[in-house]
Structure formats: structure tokens, C-alpha cells
Amino acid sequence: MKQELETRVAQACQVLFGIETTVELARPEERFGDYASNVALQLAGQMDKNPREIAEALAVKLRENLADQLSDVSVAGPGFINLKLNDQALKQSLDTLPAKSLAGQKIVAEYSDPNPFKVLHAGHLYTSIIGDAIANLLQQAGGEVHRVNFGGDVGLHVGKTMWALLRVLGGEKPEKLRLIPDYQRSEWLAEAYVEGTQAYDEDETAKAEIIELNKRIYALHEQHDHDSPFAQIYWTCRQWSYDYFDEFYARIGSGFEKYYPESHTAPIGLKTVHEHIGPVYEESDGAVIFDGEKYGLHKRVFINSEGLPTYETKDVGLIMLKKQDYDFDKSIVITGNEQEQYMAVVLKSIEQFAPELTQATTHLTHGLVKLQGGVKMSSRSGNFLRAVDVLKAAAIANQELAGDDNPVTVLGAVKYAFLKNRMGGDIIYDPKESVSLEGNSGPYLQYAHARARSILRKAESTPELPQAASFEAGERTLVRKLSEYSEVIDQATRDLMPHHVCTYLYELAQTFNRFYETNRVIGDQRQDVRLALVSHYAETLQAGLKLLGIGAPDKM
């Protein structure tokens, strides 16, 4: 409906003034109408006329051309044009679906990106949740979405963990791994990483040993060694990490089509960087760098003096592999804000020899997840909030509030608490606030859906909205809000910002509550119309929550 009206208003401008223009309708307060346009103010400069005069002339034309859709066209202020839909057009707007703007496009969505040999922290949980929601939006817009994951199964962090593991095992003794219970494996690896990191920072001897272990780990992959005692420890612990990741992703309703380990991306990254030494990359003190300062960025090392690839080169290999595997039209990469400058350098280097890849890549960043009080977390020191800790805190808070730890409610609470914030800033997670049935929370919306389903269960049947339905004031307000759904989804998809969906669903629930307080449904003479609206409301809530990855239970 909105797009059709924008086209019709633009056509009226062409007929009246002979000017081609783009019209974007906004949603004003209901008392002003259903849509508003400032096109008269835009045209005033080109026509050297008073915008109010332009708006008045355009309003006359729109009343004539859109009499079948509009019940009123008014001019306000210096030249704003307000449009009010008639009941028939308003009803038709309920049937408008989100645009399939990405139909036929292949899209790779990369997010979460945990490293084996380390534990999943709250930041991974946040990235997974928002990545899933963005991927859902892209998919509903018709995109062929491939969800992938990337992580470091080689690199210094693995060397640090392996150093500590060998100390605990008393040397290269893989048989001792059998003594580690399943439930302790991820914790054991996390503790080893912290110990290895501290040793690397504080002990020069340990640092040298870790550097050598790092080289041995790369050699395992180059030599395809799976049999030596050292290799058995490495491959077993790497698999433990992957199993742990899979279990957690299943728990939060996430999942990935492909996992790219750095051991796979490093070789193609090294090959690509070496091929472009001279025109793009340059040798410096035994290393290979990219001089980002030429482009207003900063220099970064891509191959270190030991001949090993850095994260930068592994990311070069990653984008090459993703293109090779999926031949994508768009690539979405979601990371923390701290990766913004890093990725800018990596992409700028790729731009020099494969500009089509960087043009198709969008890098989205988010802030830190903090505890109440703004405490920053760090896996390096062991002072961090694990992903499972967030879910546990929500479960405890829900137990205290509602007397249960329903996983659908708990997970919905956490997801919504993260998603309702505009991506980019830091998030301070409050478990009690997240599980509250009052205010802007996931459980509030889940309860709103369950309440609507309860109303529908009381009726013998749920009728369709009559073809020629007319609406009373309270009904019209609800229908107007329901009609915004497709526009909000389109905007969230364009902006890659799921918080738009959260804001809308909360406003919709509030609108329905006001409607239900003053408009009887069951037993009223307008029962059929109102039941149809309740049904449409419940379906809209369910669809929106599904895009966010949140369950919509029929009962709570």
C-alpha cells in the first residue's frame, strides 16, 4: 500500500508540475492521518514557489486521483500533506506482505565466529542472536541465505592452550584425555587458555615454548598429521570444542551450514597475499605488510617474520573461499566494534585486487555485553561472563519471578533483551528486567501472544474479516498499527537492524491492550470483526517473534 501511494503521489507531481521526484511517505501521529509527505517542501526550491501553495494544489489532485483509497487529504504547517485511508483501503493494507527485495540473490551471513580451545562468552551469544535475526530478515526478503561460521583452530591462542594442556597431562600423553569427563571438557580448555595466556605474558621461557608450539600446530595441518601423540591431543581437543559449539547453538536455536577453520583459510590467504606482493602488499623487516596509511587507515602485518599468516591473511583467505563456495551477491560479516578498523584494513587491501568482493561485503559491528555496573569481560584473564552464564542468570531470575525456568521463556527473554537495542552500542544485561512480564521484554510479548490465543480459544470459530468491513475508532487504531508490519520488516531488512522489529511488536502489543480494555470481543455485536482482528494480531506477533528467533507459545 505504501509503495503504491508513493508512486501515485509521484505521478501526480509529474502531471501537475512536470517534475520527476521520489516520494517517501512517513507515518504521522494518527490524528493527522495514515501517511504524510513533505514532497511540497522538496519541490519548493526547484519551482521557486511557496510550499504551502504547492501542497494545496497537489492535495486537490490527490483527492481526485485517489478517491477510491483516501477518505481525506489535508495540508498542515508549511506544506505537509496528510493522507487518510478509507476503511476499504485500510483493510487491504493488512494483506500487504514484506517485499521480496532480495529474491534471487545469494547471501552469505557470517557471525558468531568462536575459536576452538576457548569458551563461548556472552559476546558470542550476542553475535549469534543478532546474526540469526539478520539472517532471518534476509531470508524472508527472498534471499538465498547461507549461514557460516569462522574460527581460529590455529594461531597463538591455540599454542597457549596446548602449552597448558601438556603441563596438566604431564607431557604428550593423549591417553590421559580419557580421564576428563564430558561435562568438564569445555571448562578444562578454558582454564588452560587462561593459564597459557598468563604464562605467555609473564614468563619469557614459556613464551618461547608457546611460539614453538604454534609452529608445530601449523605443521600438523601441513603434514596431515593425525597420529603423533601431540596431534592426537590437538585433534581430540579441537573436536571437543566443535561438539561444545554445536550443543550450544542447538540450545539457542541457531545453526550453521559451514564452519570455516583458520587452518583452511590460511593456505589460500597466504597464496593470495604472496601473489600480490609488490602492487598491494610489501615486504618489511622480514614480514609482509599492507600500508593502510596510504588510504587513511593504518599498517598491518599479514605474514609475520616467521613466515606464518596473521589473522589478516586468514580473513583474506576466508573471503576468497566464501566466494568460491557460494559465488555470493552479498556477504554480511558481523563482529564486535573492536574489529572495525582491523576489517577496514583487510577489506581495503582486498579492494586493490578484487574490488567486486569488497563492494559486495558489508561489515556490521556491535558493542560489548557488560554486566550490571558496566564491567568489561575478558577471556584472557578469565574474568568474563560465559554464554551459558547469561542463560543461567535468566533462568534463575525467571524461577524467582514465575516459579519455573521454562526454556522458551528464558531464551526469549535473553534474545529480546539483546535485540531490542540498536546494534552498535554496548549492552548492559539485567536478568530480572529481561524476564519481567511488564515493560518492553520478550516474556511480555510472549504473554501478549498467549493472551490473544486464549481469546480466540473462547470463540466457537475465528471468522475472516468481512470484505466490506468498516471500523469503529478503536478498531481502526489497531488495524492501522497492524498495517505497519510489512513496512517495518522492509525497513529492518534494508537497515539490517532487528531492533526495528522489537520496537514495532512492543508498540503493537500496547495498541492491542488499549483496544481490548475498551472494546469487548466475545459476545459483542461486532464480535466477528473483532475476532478477526485478534486473530490477525496474534499472527502478526507470532511472525515478528519468529523473525527474531523467539518462540510464541499459545499458553503461558
pLDDT tens for each residue of 141-161 = 999 999 999 999 999 999 999
Which regions of 120-162 does DSSP assign to beta strands (E)? Answer: 144-151
Contact criterion met (CB below 8 Å) for 493 and 98: yes
Smallest CA-to-CA distance from 450 within 550, 523, 382 is with: 550
Residue with cell 466475545: 522
From-to residues of CATH 3.30.1360.70 in the chain: 2-85
The position carrying cell 569445555 is 186
Distance of alpha carbon 256 from alpha carbon 113, whole angstroms: 11
- CATH 1.10.730.10 range(s) for the chain read 389-547
> So what CATH class is 389-547?
mainly alpha
Instruction: Return the SS3 of 425.
Output: strand
Please state, as a whole number, how many other Cβ atoms lie within 10 Å of the Cβ of residue 272. Answer: 21
Q: What percent of the chain has pLDDT over 70?
A: 97
Residue-level pLDDT at 384:
67
The pLDDT tens digits of the residues spanning 331-353 come to 999 999 999 999 999 999 999 99
Q: Kindly give the parts of the chain with pLDDT less than 70.
A: 371-384
What local confidence, expressed as pLDDT, does residue 382 receive? 46
Q: Is 159:347 a contact under the CB 8 Å cutoff? A: no
pTM of the model: 0.93
Distance CA 215, CA 219 (A): 6
- Spatial distance between the Cα atoms of 67 and 473, rounded to a whole number of angstroms: 21
Contact 550, 504 (CB under 8 A): no
pLDDT of residue 258: 96
- The CATH class of the 2-85 domain is alpha beta
What was the pLDDT predicted at 381? 40
Q: Are the beta carbons of 218 and 154 closer than 8 angstroms? A: yes
With contact defined as beta carbons under 8 Å apart, do 116 and 152 qualify?
yes
End-to-end CA distance of the chain: 35
